[in-house]
């Protein structure tokens, strides 16, 4: 202890205590570093080894007729090879009507080894005449039956007849995943079967505009062409997603891939197994986003919930008493944080179930009960349709009435603009360029059904609504508009 220069027993004890504390800090830091090394990237060989036999390659073929099976290179004018290509490949009618065989590759995974049930993407097997499931050991089985497929979530369930039970995998919960969790993809990229890649969950609830139920997991685990339909695993070896799409300007992985969450996929797969089709809940409303200016006029929280633009007659929503201008903020105990969240929640609700619905109506919170109906097959919207173009925040010069030339809805105008007989209101015949109406995408032929939450039938009534809004000090006039194709929406037009 001499080296520490102790001058007294007390001081020596103090220095000793400091030394012990320093050792404790170093030990804790070493443990922390060890934990980081242990929890960070490490070998996934043990997990991959026990899962890879359940991941399969899907090969398909179909017979098609067309001018050529393989696109030929474009030969520049004047090239020495131009005459060669003209002589051999560009003869009139040379390949017309010739039947050719088109093949494609994808991925999938076994979810029931005894029954021989395999999950993949619908687009992998679409229009195929023959489908084969190829296993990691080199064996393959012909698909005997497409049990069911769902175009809205791009999932399909296939059946093969194995002689002995196949290795299968189980679904885990995608709900418990957190951004940053490690995941592993196994699949058949570019025909290279059994490829394993690792990454993290980059984001959840991604909307890539592929359908009404978009709720994708985003991952940076390498996913390429041929990975479609393959599983995305968590580190417990459970399927938490079905790889479906990538964003790539090059055709290869740039670290932005998307997977259908397992909670969505499992619900669809169970229905395909039971019924051969999906059975989704139906509400029967047209909805849109609650924009800031609309929220102010309706007295509801902005950018929260789904604004009902129209209710279909005799639908579950109509029976329950839901009305246009209601804002749904909760359905079956689940928060509706955005417009796009509602179709997903309704679609996954059990048909025939009576559920509570929380709404805002005229600035006040209300509760209703609705009995969920069944959506007709393949409409894919849960009876919840976008009401039209999303509101724009642009402003501009005004016209006769906020940039619109209006007219009473005569028989001649109904005929000219193909307006249905049941529609009653004031028709827009002209919209001034760069006006507030043009900024909201209002077009000639649109019919203003309500202005300022009151029905209108003459241009004068619309003008009076503008005057009332100005007198009240509000910033925008709320219009309810019905378009040529029957789409109904609300627009809030700023008033200068």
Q: Is 96 exposed, middle or buried (0-12, 13-18, 19+ CB in 10 A)?
A: exposed
Judge whether 227 is annotated as a binding position.
Answer: yes
φ and ψ of 189, to 5 deg: -65, 130
Answer whether 174's CB lies under 8 Å from 233's CB: no
Judge whether 255 is annotated as a binding position.
Answer: no
Mode of pairing for the β-strands spanning 231-233 and 182-187: antiparallel
Tell me which of 59, 107, 150, 154 is the catalytic residue: 154
Could you tell me the sign of the dihedral formed by the alpha carbons of 441, 444, 446, 448, in that order? positive
Tell me which of 123, 202, 330, 381 is the catalytic residue: 123
* Number of Cβ atoms within 10 Å of the Cβ of 33: 10
Q: Which two tokens stand for residue 209?
A: 């505009």
DSSP secondary structure of 172-222: --STT--TT-EEEEEE-GGG-TTEEEEEEEEEEEE--SSSTT--EEEE-S-
Q: How far is CA 491 from the centre of its chain?
A: 25
Catalytic residue at 79?
A: no
φ and ψ of 368, to 5 deg: -130, 170
Which residue in 151, 119, 137, 133 sits closest to 230, CA to CA?
A: 119
Tell me which of 228, 387, 435, 465 is the catalytic residue: 228
Q: Looking at 57-156, list the stretches that DSSP marks H as alpha helix, in order from N- to C-terminal side.
A: 82-89, 122-125
CA distance 493 to 291: 12
Catalytic residue at 236?
A: no
* DSSP symbol at 388: S
CA distance 2 to 13: 13
CA distance 126 to 135: 21
* Number of Cβ atoms within 10 Å of the Cβ of 314: 10
Contacts 24+ apart (CB under 8 A), 492-496: 492/291, 492/293, 492/294, 492/296, 492/297, 492/391, 493/402, 493/436, 493/437, 493/440, 494/293, 494/395, 494/436, 495/402, 495/466, 495/469, 495/470, 496/398
How far apart, in Å, do the first and last CA atoms of the chain sit?
85
Catalytic residue at 154?
A: yes
Judge whether 154 is annotated as a binding position.
Answer: yes
* Known binding positions for substrate: 123, 154, 226-228
* Known binding positions: 123, 154, 226-228
Active-site residue list: 123, 154, 228
């Amino acid at each position: 202890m001499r080296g520490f220069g102790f001058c007294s027993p007390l001081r020596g004890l103090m220095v000793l205590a400091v030394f012990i504390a320093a050792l404790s800090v170093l030990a804790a830091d070493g443990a922390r570093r060890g934990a980081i090394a242990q929890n960070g990237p490490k070998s996934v060989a043990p997990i991959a080894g026990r899962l890879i036999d359940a991941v399969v390659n899907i090969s398909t073929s179909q017979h098609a007729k067309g001018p050529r099976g393989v696109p030929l290179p474009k030969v520049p004018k004047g090239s020495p090879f131009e005459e060669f290509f003209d002589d051999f490949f560009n003869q009139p009618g040379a390949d017309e009507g010739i039947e050719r065989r088109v093949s494609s590759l994808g991925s999938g995974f076994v979810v029931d080894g005894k029954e021989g049930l395999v999950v993949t993407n619908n687009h992998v097997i679409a229009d195929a005449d023959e489908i084969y499931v190829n296993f990691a050991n080199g064996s393959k089985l012909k698909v005997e039956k497409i049990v069911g497929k769902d175009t809205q979530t791009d999932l399909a369930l296939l059946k093969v007849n194995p002689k002995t039970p196949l290795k299968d995998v189980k679904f885990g919960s995608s709900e418990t995943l957190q951004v940053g969790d490690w995941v592993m993809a196994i699949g058949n990229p570019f025909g290279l079967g059994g490829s394993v890649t690792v990454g993290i969950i980059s984001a959840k609830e991604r909307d890539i505009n592929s359908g009404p139920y978009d709720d994708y997991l985003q991952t940076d685990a390498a996913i390429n062409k041929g990975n479609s339909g393959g599983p995305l695993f968590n580190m417990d070896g459970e399927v938490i997603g079905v790889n479906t799409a990538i964003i790539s300007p090059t055709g290869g992985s740039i670290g932005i891939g998307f997977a259908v969450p397992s909670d969505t996929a499992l619900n669809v797969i169970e229905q395909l197994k039971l019924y051969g089709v999906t059975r989704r809940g139906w509400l029967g409303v047209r909805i849109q986003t609650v924009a800031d200016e609309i929220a102010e006029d309706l007295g509801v929280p902005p950018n929260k919930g789904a604004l009902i633009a129209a209710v279909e007659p005799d639908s579950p929503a109509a029976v329950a008493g839901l009305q246009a201008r209601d804002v749904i903020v909760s359905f079956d105990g689940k928060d509706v944080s955005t417009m796009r969240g509602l179709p997903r929640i309704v679609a996954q609700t059990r048909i025939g179930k009576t559920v509570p619905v929380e709404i805002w109506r005229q600035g006040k919170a209300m509760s209703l009960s609705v009995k969920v109906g069944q959506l007709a097959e393949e409409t894919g919207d849960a009876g919840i349709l976008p009401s039209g173009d999303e509101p724009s925040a642009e402003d501009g010069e005004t016209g006769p009435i906020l940039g619109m030339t209006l007219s009473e809805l005569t028989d001649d105008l109904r005929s000219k603009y193909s307006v249905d007989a049941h529609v009653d209101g004031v028709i827009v015949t002209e919209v001034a360029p760069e006006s507030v109406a043009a900024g909201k995408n209002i077009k000639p032929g649109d019919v203003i059904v309500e202005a300022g939450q009151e029905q209108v039938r003459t241009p004068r009534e619309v003008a009076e609504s503008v005057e009332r809004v100005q007198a009240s000090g509000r910033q925008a006039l709320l219009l309810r508009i019905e378009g040529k194709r029957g789409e109904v929406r609300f627009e809030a037009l700023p008033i200068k």
